[in-house]
Structure 1
Amino acid sequence: MSARVIAVSNRKGGTAKTTTTVNLATALGDRGWRVLVVDLDSQGHAGLGFGVKAAQGQPTVHDVFRGAGASLADGIRGTDYPNVDVLPADRAFEGAAGTVPPLALASALEPLARAYRVVLIDTGPTADALLVSALASAHHVLVPTLLHHLAIDGVGQFARSFFRVATTLNAGLHGMSILPVQVDLRVTMQREILERLAAQFGRERLLAGIRPDNALAEAFGRQRPVKYHRPRTRSVEDFELLCDNVISNIVTAGR
């Protein structure tokens, strides 16, 4: 059975895409689900969140964008965490030299996905060909967002990219879920933004959010998921709830 492919995306930077990818992958892996993390952002931070990075000359996911027919299997690295593998980024990648076939990544991931239950693609804050490639490969998208006024515009811009890919390149791209981060509902503005997001995109697309937690940044500094840094912190609870939602509403619901 082939994996469900979930892109973690937003056209804005600083919205906790990588934090979400690393800690959701860990929660899924701890429950026995085999997960492949695809680090499509050339910063390579999703790999670093597990202590993984590619040395110069080693295979990476970005090999797909350097020529047709690249095989990615040799690039997959195991991690120290149950059931989680990483396909790392090329941290020297500066963009494709020519036109990137929008389905090249989907084709390259297809044989890998048979060995996993979930593939999580961490994307960079961009609207370029790599983001289109990620959306063209996915069944579902998680959109982490801060709850400030620009969030409405940012999610709206991303939604336009989502629907364009879903209607022209990838008929299997069925769902988009919005994940609020740094959530503190004591703040009036955050409650207002949540209501506006629900009104504009549908309350069913809103997931329970991730609360602020300094342990998340500390864990990244140690290149490990927060659950293995401070297991009793509140963000661990939040990612476990997110994991519940992903399993019931995205992974198993899509089968």
Structure 2
Amino acid sequence: MIKISDPRKLLNISYQTRALIVKMLSAAGSGHTGASLGLADIFTCLYFNELNHNPENPVWPDRDRVILSIGHVAPVFYATLAQAGYFEKSELFTLRKFGSRLQGHPGLDSRLPGIETSSGSLGQGLSIATGMAIVAKKSSSDIRVFSIHGDGELQEGQIWEAAMAAAHYNLDNITAIVDLNGVQIDGPTREVMHLEPLAAKWQAFGWNVIGCDGHNISGILNAFRQARANSGKPSVILARTIMGKGIKTIENDHHWHGRAPSPAEAIEFLCQIEEIFRDELAKI
């Protein structure tokens, strides 16, 4: 298990991840930039502090499971897996290339280490995670299941069917993580389909609700601790994030939901990432 507790080291990893995301998307010429950048801090805390896993043995039976329900943020998933040691970083630059293991959405058929399920169709991840959590409970296993979602994805009805089932079976071994950036492909979520009061909705479905700033390393770690300490009901972490975090010129711009930077834009973006990383580091 990788266990890094120093917020400065975790912040450094998250900004390295952002730089890799920009480089790999620019090389691919397509892909999803905004939410991938926004989730870098959460993925870093999950894989480098919270998760019980072993990159040298990706199919270790007692590993925690991560279900990426929002498959289009594959760039942050792949970059994090590579940084954690699941495969060489050089493979990141085959993203979306013909024959690459790094498909546009993660697929089990790719045989890429660290992938637990194929994803792409939104709304399905929580159902998969719930099934895994039920099996773990029945086998008296300590395995925990993490399911990662976008806020726009919560407009899918299947999410709430799974939420009801997880509470019914008292699955305190499951933690859903919702990326609350307030933006989806068509624009702000409040205009496409308003989600609030979101915390009250999850509570009404029988979940333990935890809020956090999705860019505050200490806050994210504390949210995971609260979820781990909870018993008797499933937990959901509502993480408020900024789409495109680390690149001021594209933050909260829904046009960057599924757009990749050009080579020239990538150079500018990498400069912004380095500048913002220094500013964030100085605050810790």
Q: TM-score, normalised by structure 2?
A: 0.38
Greater helix fraction, Structure 1 or Structure 2: 2
Q: TM-score, normalised by structure 1?
A: 0.41
